[in-house]
A and B are shown apart, each in its own frame.
Chain A
Amino acid sequence: MDETELETVLREAQMGSSVAFGQVYGEFSTRVFGLCRKMLGSHAAAEDATSEVFERAYQALDQYDRDRPFDRWILTIASRHCLNRLRRERLEKRLFHDEPVEVPTIAASSSPLVAFENQEQRRAMLRAIDALPENYRVPLILKYYGNLSYDEIADHLRTTHSNVGVLLHRAKRELRGRIITLGKEES
């Protein structure tokens, strides 16, 4: 679907056409599902979340400002939705606060991530990402999958711009450490 086509479909959807909204669903469901899958870590939960995200988007469609890119808008809804879900699930855990975490310090210059070139290795990396604690996994996915800016992520996580940088930095360090351990276990 090219841009003008998408614009027409969105306009129709905003005017209440359910057929047009079905097309919107077809266009964006994969990406929304992908984000939900990565943030929630489970297939079934992501399925539920995807349909809930689209339901929410359907209700809020008249608030969508057509000057903004639509994928940004719906991914924002999706990440917010997933975060609420995670918060509900782990209400007692204080997730996104700037607490010191014990992390093996592995500098990026010797990053093991870069070495992960073939698909097999990358899938192992994805498993490692899935296994990351939520406070690392969520910003990582929002940034490198959702393509959101620090400010947007900060807004979602109710934290600050600079703390997002810290979280991402630590997330990557943690990931490096885990991948090294993973490599050692395999060998």
Chain B
Amino acid sequence: MSCPTELTLSIHADGELPEHEAHRIVAHLEACATCSALLTALERENVVLMEALGEEEAVTDRLPAASSTPSASASGSSASSWIWGAVAAAALAPVMLDWLWQATPSLPAGVGWVSGLGGLGGLFLISRGLVQLFVGGQDMLVSSFGFVATLFVVVGTLSVATLRRPLAGATAGLALALLAGLAPPSPAHAAELRYEKEGTVKVAEGESIDDTVFLAGKTAIVAGVVDGDVFAAAERVEVTGTVRGNVYSAGETVTIAGEVSGNVHAAGKNVEVDSKVGGSGFVAGQNVIVTEGSHLARGGYFAGESVRSKGRVGRGIIFAAETMEVSGSVERNVRGYGSQVTVSSSGSVGGDLHVTVPSPDAVEVDDGATVSGETIVDIEEKEKRRAFLYPGFYFGVLAKALAMLLMGLVLVTLFPSLLPPSPDSSKEVLRHMGFGFVALVATPVVMLIIALTVIGIPVSIVLGMVYAVLVFLSTLVVAYFAAQRLPGSDSRRRLVLNTGASLLVILFVVAIPFVGAGLNFLVHIFGMGCLVVHLRNLYTKSHGSSDSSMSQPGKLATE
């Protein structure tokens, strides 16, 4: 065999010759010293090349531009360097935020926490919250899983209840929101945040805080005196001290045993109120108990699987519960929905007892109990099936339709841009229904998640208000669309009349047993979808222009 070319040997030195050819070369090399020497030289050459090229790496390494810090290349002229800025910023952000917080341990006096939320103080608060969540959020979430699941059930039940009885739901929601809004402002104007990943956060006995306090941890205890509001989220929340503002708390077990001058807002698996409350109690949970010694100076708003009101309530009670027991005194009316409602012998109701239950024997008023006003028992299911036989039903529907129509007219007069355009095609209808479905289902979940951050509770409440209003208005929107399809809808008067008529029809149709519930759901998701899409469009439009004619919070909240 003749000697291979230098090219072939070069390729062989790179290890890239096909196997059969490589074998031949190897065989030849054994016999040919010249070729063998050439191959060795080529191989050494490769090594030298690799070493030399590799060495430059070490040389450039010392040059600043080749250093591995992203900021160095961010100084480069390339337009793409923003990404390194972003990478660096993302890496630095938590540190920066934490530093900012350390630099400002509490907000400057005179900045209320609510007004502060929009300003610099709020930014600090939120950033601190983010850092906390970032650092310990996972553990907290894992340990609060049970609580989350429970709260989810409660919120879910409430929203289903709202769906089935939009008027009652919306009224309750509005009343709740109004009362929450009218709650006495806390005397203190600063905020303090205490956070402990695994352990107990505490306002100790004898300790006195002039600020609003945010507490988060495995266990949160308020044993001292707090002049502002208390926001607490923990597996176990205990308030045994004195709170001059409001209490907002969520946890697997929530116990309010101290004195609260404002309102008590509490949610959890087991919630116990055993205290004197200057305002109202808004309590939701699997087991809710207001003990014998306790006193709610204003109203009680209860939701849960099992609710027992044993204490004194200065005004009325509104409830939605699987089983409800009133064994304390209530100065005014008791109004609620439940599967089993009992007023025990020690209970007294100053006003009317008005309950909606599945059957007449689900209401028990014991012998010793007093109901000063009337006892009204609405039977939920059965009456519905025969509802069409009673004139009262027609009046009810008429009243409801009128109320809706009036509210709609007021809104449209105030904010003409709120009126959504009717969808053009069936495809658009489907799309809107999709949006509506998502909004209907996702909003309670979002509310829950926001509320979990403690700081977000006010946002969550606002979101809840908006949600209730949207659910309420969705039927009206559908009626309005139907009215547009009716003849003579060119004039405004006819349009309003037609809307009213369609509203009546819809309200009757959704009252039909079995079919009605499904139709009702469809009406709600369609109406809600149209509203959400419309509000979103308005928002995007107004976002571009300097001025917005919209001042409804819904446009933001639904974004």
Contacts and interface: CB of A to CB of B under 8 A. Distances in A.
Q: Which of A108, A125, A169 has the most CB of B within 10 A?
A: A108
A51 B46 contact: no
Given A26-B70, A51-B73, A58-B83, 16 more contacts: A19-B91, A22-B88, A22-B90, A29-B66, A31-B57, A43-B65, A51-B78, A51-B84, A52-B78, A52-B80, A55-B83, A107-B6, A109-B38, A126-B56, A129-B52, A144-B46
Nearest to B75: A47
Nearest to B74: A51
Nearest to B78: A48
Contacts of B34: 109
B76 interface: yes
A158 B77 CA distance: 30
B41 A109 contact: yes
7 contacts: A18-B86, A25-B87, A34-B57, A48-B76, A108-B9, A125-B52, A150-B16
Interface of A: 18-19, 21-22, 25-27, 29-31, 33-34, 37-38, 43-44, 47-48, 50-52, 54-55, 58, 107-111, 113-114, 116, 119, 122-123, 125-126, 129, 140-141, 143-145, 149-150, 161-162, 164-166, 168-169, 172
B130 interface: no
B10 interface: yes
A30 to B, nearest CB: 6
A164 B17 CA distance: 12
A27 B86 CA distance: 18
Nearest to B77: A48
Given A108-B6, A108-B38, A122-B55, A113 B80 contact: no
Interface in B314-345: none
Contacts of A44: 76-77
B37 A109 contact: yes
B164 interface: no
B11 A113 contact: no
B16 A161 contact: yes
By size class, the interface of chain B is 35 or more
The 3 closest A-B pairs by CB, nearest first: A165-B11, A145-B53, A22-B87
B165 to A, nearest CB: 43
Nearest to A29: B68
B31 interface: no
Contacts of B14: 143, 150, 165, 168
Interface in B59-114: 59-61, 63, 65-66, 68-70, 73-74, 76-78, 80-81, 83-84, 86-88, 90-91
Nearest to A56: B80
B45 A50 contact: no
Given A25-B68, A43-B65, A111 B45 contact: yes
B10 A33 contact: no
A19 B73 CA distance: 16
Contacts of A123: 59
Given A113-B45, A129-B53, A47 B38 contact: no
B271 to A, nearest CB: 38
Q: Interface majority SS on B: helix, strand, loop or mixed?
A: helix
A141 to B, nearest CB: 7
B121 to A, nearest CB: 28
Given A18-B86, A38-B56, A52-B78, A114 B70 contact: no
A126 B53 contact: yes
A169 B76 contact: no
B11 A51 contact: no
Interface of B: 6-7, 9-11, 14, 16, 34, 37-38, 41-42, 44-46, 48-57, 59-61, 63, 65-66, 68-70, 73-74, 76-78, 80-81, 83-84, 86-88, 90-91
Contacts of A30: 57, 60-61, 66, 68
A151 to B, nearest CB: 8
Nearest to A37: B60
Given A33-B60, A33-B66, A47-B76, A172 B87 contact: no
Given A51-B84, A54-B83, A18 B78 contact: no
B73 A50 contact: yes
A116 B68 CA distance: 30
A102 B49 CA distance: 22
Contacts of B38: 107-109
B16 A172 contact: no
A185 to B, nearest CB: 20
Nearest to A107: B6
A112 to B, nearest CB: 10
Contacts of B9: 108
Given A51-B81, A51-B84, A150-B16, A25 B6 contact: no
A172 B76 contact: no
Nearest to A147: B50
A167 to B, nearest CB: 11
A116 B51 CA distance: 11
Nearest to B5: A169
Given A30-B57, A37-B60, A21 B41 contact: no
B521 to A, nearest CB: 36
Nearest to A21: B87
A137 to B, nearest CB: 11
Contacts of A19: 87, 90-91
B55 A119 contact: yes
Contact of A169 (B6, B77, B86, B90): B6
Q: Which of A33, A58, A116, A150 has the most CB of B within 10 A?
A: A33
A108 B53 contact: no
A29 B34 CA distance: 43
Given A51-B81, A114-B41, A168 B10 contact: yes
Contact of B11 (A37, A43, A125, A169): A169
Nearest to B35: A109
A122 B47 CA distance: 12
B16 A165 contact: yes
Contacts of A165: 7, 10-11, 14, 16
A129 B74 CA distance: 29
A157 B51 CA distance: 24
A144 B37 CA distance: 21
A37 B56 CA distance: 10
A165 B10 CA distance: 7
Contacts of A109: 34, 37-38, 41
B401 to A, nearest CB: 50
B87 A113 contact: no
